[in-house]
Chains A and B, each alone.
Chain A
Amino acid sequence: MGYSTLNIIGRSKRKPLKISADRRVVQTPVRKFSVTIFIPCFNEESTIAQCIESCLAQEYKANNIVVIDDSSTDNTPRILKRFGDKITVVRTPKNTGNKSHAQEFGFKGAKTDLMVTTDADTILHPEFLGRIVKNFDDPKVVAAGGYVRSMKYNWLTRARAVDYVVGQNIHKLAQSYLGFMFVIPGAAGAFRTKVFQDHLTFDHDTITEDLDFTYKLHKRGLKIAYDRSAVVFTQDPTSLYSYINQMRRWFGGGWQNLSKHLDVATMHPAQTLELSLMYIEGLVFATLLFVIPLLNITFALYFIVPYLLITSLFSIYAAIHERRGDLLLNPVPYLFLMYINAYIFIEQFIKEFVLRKKNLVWFKPERISL
């Protein structure tokens, strides 16, 4: 697949990001399903235009692109107007303050066979729609998740890029083989509209609605496809403050959904295995990271040195996979971030799972102009 068709991965801080599709390498897919792309947004003036342009540049043309403007107060409405009748803009009466509220508002009008969700800080590869839609040739598939790549910016996005490579090419791939894909990413998700309307409700009681939807589909034993060839590029946090807030939302949402859908863990052996690996091992590992250095500093070195070696191997793998030499610089910052992740994992376990202090406040990270 011609990833180089988008000049996003090789982006530096100074060079502006360009999007251009190389149409020579792509064949127009056969149209079988009608599709609506939904983009919820709130004050996304720095990224929304590029996101919409990437939706319009799809080889497989969407029937409708619906931007759900959650009453933005910046230049977003003016930017949306520039696209005229190429897109449909739905504006909430007042700011709902939460992505899932905005989505619920916009999804009501979906009439196409499929609905695709993405985020305003995300750029779709020109082949994304054609590839994600192809998964629905299998009549059993009710939803599909694509592959997310992190846009290059600084050391934090570098660590995230390695996470995505390992997470999606090893963990998520194995999960899909076992029939339990953990989460359909909100930035690259597709659903049969009928199934979505029949089975998925917006409960607004967790902070990660995409995980909530995925668990609900698993509960009903419905088939979810994972397609690594359907690629989107997303903007990840570029400051430590934003990173910490995003991890709080992801881990907090993870624990909220686990307590909400605990029965999923006992429905199928693969689900029991996956959730145990995810949460029990996560807790044990996170605790060990802090406890071992307190007990014996020499033993801690025995723990940390192999860990650095493993992260070095991951970084080499990611560097080759993404064709990015800068990912080789990742291991030491990755170790630092692992301690932050471990702390947040335990913190959110106590807050959301033990004390049930439900935090539903949405934090929107700062955006970098695309």
Chain B
Amino acid sequence: MNSFIPFIGLSFIVHMLVILNRVVMNTVHSVVAKVKGGK
């Protein structure tokens, strides 16, 4: 089983939010690290 074929709906929205959250958190962490590193 390579991929459980997803239906488009709530799962898509939830998963996009999870990915977006990860991207935002990573960006925030890297900015904070840069600011701290600069001091």
Contacts and interface: CB of A to CB of B under 8 A. Distances in A.
Interface residues of B, number: 18
Interface string A224-245: 0000000000100000000000
Contacts of B8: 285, 307, 310-311, 314
A163 B5 contact: yes
Given A164-B2, A170-B12, A250-B1, A177 B7 contact: no
Interface stretch (A25-33, A85-93, A183-191, A193-201): A183-191
A40 interface: no
Given A254-B4, A285-B7, A311-B8, A170 B14 contact: no
B24 interface: no
Interface in B19-39: 19, 22
A247 B5 contact: yes
B13 to A, nearest CB: 10
B4 A286 contact: no
Given A167-B6, A177-B19, A177-B22, A185 B1 contact: yes
Interface residues of A, number: 43
A211 B19 contact: no
Interface of B: 1-12, 14-16, 18-19, 22
Pick the 10 closest A-B CB pairs, nearest first: A174-B15, A167-B3, A277-B11, A174-B18, A285-B7, A148-B2, A185-B2, A208-B1, A171-B6, A250-B1
Interface of A: 148, 163-164, 166-168, 170-175, 177-178, 182-183, 185-188, 208, 210-211, 234, 247, 250, 253-254, 273, 277-278, 281-282, 284-286, 307, 310-311, 314, 338, 341-342
20 contacts: A164-B3, A166-B6, A167-B3, A171-B6, A171-B12, A171-B15, A173-B19, A174-B18, A175-B15, A178-B18, A182-B4, A183-B1, A185-B3, A211-B1, A234-B2, A250-B1, A253-B1, A281-B7, A307-B8, A311-B8
